[in-house]
Chains A and B, each alone.
Chain A
Amino acid sequence: MAIQRISLTNLEKNFQEVEPGLTNQEAIDEANRCLYCYDAPCIKACPTGINIPAFIKKIASGNLLGSAKTIMSANPVGASCARVCPTEELCEGACVLNHSTKPIMIGNLQRYATDWAIHNNQTLFEKGESNGKKIAIIGAGPAGLSAARELARLGYKVTVFEAANKAGGLNTYGIVSFRLPQRISFWEVEQVEKLNVTIRTNTMVGRDITVEELMEGFDRIVLAAGMGHVPELGISGEELDGVYDAIEFVKATKDGKLSNEFVGKRVIVIGAGNTAIDGATCSIRLGAENVKILYRRTVDEMTAYDFEYEFAKQDGVEFRWLTAPQRILGSENGKVTGIECIKMKLGEPEADGRRSPLAVVGSEHVIPVDAVVKAIGQTRHLSLIERFGLEHDGGVVKVDPFTLETSNPNIFACGDVIFGKGQGEAMVVTAAQQGKDVAYAIHKQFTTVGNT
């Protein structure tokens, strides 16, 4: 199966979008199948509340500009979400046709309409009349862009500070190209920039501009910095040549310049979330001969979406459940040669309800490998949060659940900086909604009588 899907001679082909877009005929046929429900459950299931029946009806009537506007007005990263949303758990899962025939392909229709807008170079929105207020947004990922877009439409002068070379955050760097090509994310960034939003890339707050400068220079600050790198495993051999951070590993495949150093190699990915799946499928698509995912728990505790798990299996990724790394082994010249693992068994449930893995004594074994990709979560931007003096819980910024206001009333937070510890969801679409919520909360502060 893997051999049929993957080319070893043309790696670029492996990173082309896997899902083809709908043809015009497919889109119109599917759009006509939509019942156009009243008070539709798909709208309620969408974290950004896109008026899905309306945008689908507009596809059917040939009003594609209106369709794209309906989508993008509710979700400033709606073109990306069309591709990356777990639709079967959201809109498509709520479609009433699940109870009658089969659900509408909402994600694919959303992609069809937004692809039309991209292809036809449409500008969908205009900036609002200036109100003289200045907002700084830290992070140009889905949450930051979403807040920027809505604030700009409301008349605020927005400056976004982005540490990376390009804006877009996760959508630009973190989601594998064969799911989400960079050009989609760039179009969404461009839509925001067209509203007179300034995006200062290669600008890390705390390094290139101080927290104090932001606090003094702007009326409000939105912290949407996302998360950091993959943490240390805390085992020996992590410094060896051939050990990768999954986030960086995926990022390196996103600009289209693909390395052929993995062709024919054996790769181990540690972790079983969606990022681990990305690391594994990217490895396969870079030509790796064998890719194994190690996870210390079982398939039942795995946090990756089911469709991602299925996709990885179809790519030929192997799974080693109840297996934990002990140490990474290297050669004399510092290159990874293998990984020593130990078998685990599940013990009693922990506080989060998941059963804790326990090592099986004497089950140590070595798997020979050429590369190890770590995907065991992401670190928090702790120092940045503390420099702003914000209350947090282990790096998860504390916010008012409705206004997303932090412990400092001039600072709001959204996206992954507030995800975790039982707070929020890690989806792009949730970040987009939080960005909107922050924008409206800030606007409310300025427009409520008594506030200036």
Chain B
Amino acid sequence: MADLRINLAGIKSPNPFWLASAPPTNSGYQVQRAFEAGWGGAVWKTLGDPILNTSSRFAAISFNGQRVAGFNNIELITDRPLDVNLKEIYETKKKFPNHAIVASLMVEPKQEKWHEIVKRVEDVGVDGLELNFGCPHGMAERGMGSASGQVPALVEKQTLWVKEVAKTPVIVKLTPNITDITATAEAACNGGADAISMINTINSLMGVDLDTWNTIPHVAGKGAHGGYCGPAVKPIALNMVAECARHSQINVPISGIGGISNWRDAVEFMLMGATGVQICTAAMHHGFRIVEDMIEGLNHYLDGKGIAAVSDIIGKSVPKYSDWGNLDLNYNIVAKINTDVCINCNKCYIACEDTSHQCIEMLSDASGKNYLRVWEEDCVGCNLCAIVCPVDGAIEMIEVPNEMPPMTWNERQAVINAVITSKVDTTK
């Protein structure tokens, strides 16, 4: 069994699977159930001045019958009094001393407000703090959450205020509702953040009812944008984690959040630089019990690879993530259709013919059996055929040897520029 323990900026947990600050971590009862199920940590649902919530709060997207491909909420931070939450945090920590409890915090952008709440939550024994600069709905209209998180100066200043009094590690949770997340991540670092977490939810409107023309969800016939999460946002989150991980000025641990549904997703986030992960939608969809497979699957993966500790995989794929200008233009792949495996649905054919490079042909052999053939000289290696193919192993993208040495766009431009600047000499 591999060592699954993580240490995120000093916050230790028995495994990398934490529940994100969200409805699942609303109460001591829930967090204790989660720890019993095996979750390594929990970020308590955001504490602050108790709010009022609407009825009708969640909505989800189904895609071709797959439920909860994406999820959206308009629920705000905790609606329970601070002292009740603090009492339950204290009790939970006492029962589960080895599990990580992080308090998510959101107050008005005032120094004394931050000082006050930090002291109060640290008094009950939390392992760390997470500053909620990401919540995109409701709280943002009052100048908190993502309203703060979209302004790098505010992120830096508030982080600084927290760090003035905090004794435990401070994680800054970032909003994806910004053009370049590395700007706010850097601001958090400048403010002294011990770690950053991302992504919070993405501004979203889940749908419109075709019969009533109401928004989905609606509150008495009116809707407001919510925060989008769940499996559909994973690629967006993964990119933001990776962009921060490879950024030279962002040198704090990252807690990865966004559409993580199983151990495989968790491994991807950790390979891309996350020290641990936070999960919400998958638990909301299936309950806390899903963590059992996450832990076991991760263990088997690491054992199968001969990796002793999960911390050994952190950031291993980061050097492989770069800018487009650094990609080798002389690397070529082409589609190869394995006619033995192919079931002749012709999805690849029509996808290529209508929307890509017209390099698959439908043919029949002497016995009248249909088969598909790739014109490799026309294939640009776009992967579309392999993407739409419903049968594993029917289409492989294979590398075509190229006599040309690797050449990136940046290298090419450098050569061209060198030729231009030396033109005077060469034409002599």
Q: Which residues of A contact B (CB under 8 A)?
A: 28-29, 32, 35-41, 60, 96-97, 99-100
Contact = CB atoms under 8 A, between A and B. Distances in A.
A100 B65 contact: no
Given A100-B390, A100-B391, A37 B347 contact: yes
- Max chain A Cβ within 10 angstroms of own Cβ: one of B343, B345, B346, B362: B345
A96 B343 contact: yes
B344 A28 contact: no
A99 B343 CA distance: 6
A37 to B, nearest CB: 4
Nearest to B349: A38
Contacts of A38: 345-347, 349-350
Nearest to B350: A38
Nearest to A29: B65
Given A100-B390, A100-B391, A37 B65 contact: no
Nearest to A62: B210
A100 B343 contact: yes
Interface string B326-360: 00000000000000000111110110000000000
A96 B64 contact: no
A29 B64 CA distance: 8
A35 B65 contact: no
B64 A41 contact: no
A34 to B, nearest CB: 10
B65 A28 contact: yes
A37 B64 contact: no
Contacts of B345: 35, 37-38, 40, 96
B367 to A, nearest CB: 16
Contacts of A28: 65
A100 B342 CA distance: 9
Interface in B383-399: 390-391
Interface string B372-386: 000000000000000
Contacts of A35: 345, 347, 390
Given A41-B344, A96-B345, A32 B391 contact: no
A99 B344 CA distance: 9
Contacts of B349: 38-39
A392 B346 CA distance: 44
Contact of B64 (A32, A40, A99, A100): A32
Interface in B15-72: 64-65
Interface residues of B, number: 12
A255 B308 CA distance: 75
A28 B64 CA distance: 8
B364 to A, nearest CB: 11
Nearest to B392: A100
Contacts of B350: 38-39
Given A29-B65, A32-B64, A60-B64, A37 B346 contact: yes
Contacts of A32: 64-65
Contacts of A97: 343
B65 A39 contact: no
A353 to B, nearest CB: 23
A90 to B, nearest CB: 17
A426 to B, nearest CB: 26
A37 B342 CA distance: 13
B369 to A, nearest CB: 12
Contact of B362 (A39, A40, A60): A39
- Max chain B Cβ within 10 angstroms of own Cβ: one of A29, A38, A97: A38
A57 to B, nearest CB: 10
B216 to A, nearest CB: 15
A36 B345 CA distance: 8
A27 to B, nearest CB: 11
Contacts of B346: 37-40
Nearest to B345: A37
A96 B390 CA distance: 11
Contacts of A60: 64-65
A41 B345 CA distance: 8
Contacts of A41: 344
Given A37-B346, A96-B344, 12 more contacts: A32-B64, A35-B345, A38-B346, A38-B349, A38-B350, A40-B346, A41-B344, A96-B345, A97-B343, A99-B344, A100-B390, A100-B391
Contacts of B344: 37, 41, 96, 99
Nearest to B362: A39
Nearest to B388: A35
A266 to B, nearest CB: 50
A365 B56 CA distance: 78
A97 B347 CA distance: 13
Nearest to B65: A32
Contacts of A100: 343, 390-391
Nearest to A99: B343
A35 B391 CA distance: 11
A36 B350 CA distance: 11
A96 B343 CA distance: 6
A155 B347 CA distance: 39
24 contacts: A28-B65, A29-B65, A32-B64, A35-B345, A35-B347, A36-B347, A37-B344, A37-B345, A37-B346, A37-B347, A38-B345, A38-B347, A38-B350, A39-B349, A39-B350, A40-B346, A41-B344, A60-B64, A60-B65, A96-B343, A96-B344, A99-B344, A100-B343, A100-B391
B116 to A, nearest CB: 52
A41 B362 CA distance: 13
A40 B346 CA distance: 8
Contacts of A36: 347
B202 to A, nearest CB: 26
A306 B389 CA distance: 33
Nearest to A37: B345
- Max chain A Cβ within 10 angstroms of own Cβ: one of B346, B349, B350, B362: B346
Contacts of B391: 100
A96 B347 CA distance: 11
Nearest to A25: B65
- Max chain B Cβ within 10 angstroms of own Cβ: one of A28, A40, A99: A99
A133 B209 CA distance: 49
A70 B345 CA distance: 21
Nearest to B66: A32
10 closest cross-chain pairs (CB), A and B = A38-B350, A38-B346, A32-B65, A96-B343, A37-B345, A99-B343, A32-B64, A96-B345, A35-B345, A100-B343
Contacts of A40: 345-346
A292 B16 CA distance: 69
A183 B349 CA distance: 43
Contacts of A29: 65
A40 B362 CA distance: 12
A97 B362 CA distance: 19
A38 to B, nearest CB: 4
A201 to B, nearest CB: 42
Contacts of A37: 344-347
A38 B344 CA distance: 9
- Max chain B Cβ within 10 angstroms of own Cβ: one of A32, A36, A41, A96: A96
Nearest to B63: A32
A318 B415 CA distance: 87
Interface string B149-166: 000000000000000000
B342 to A, nearest CB: 9
A330 B346 CA distance: 64
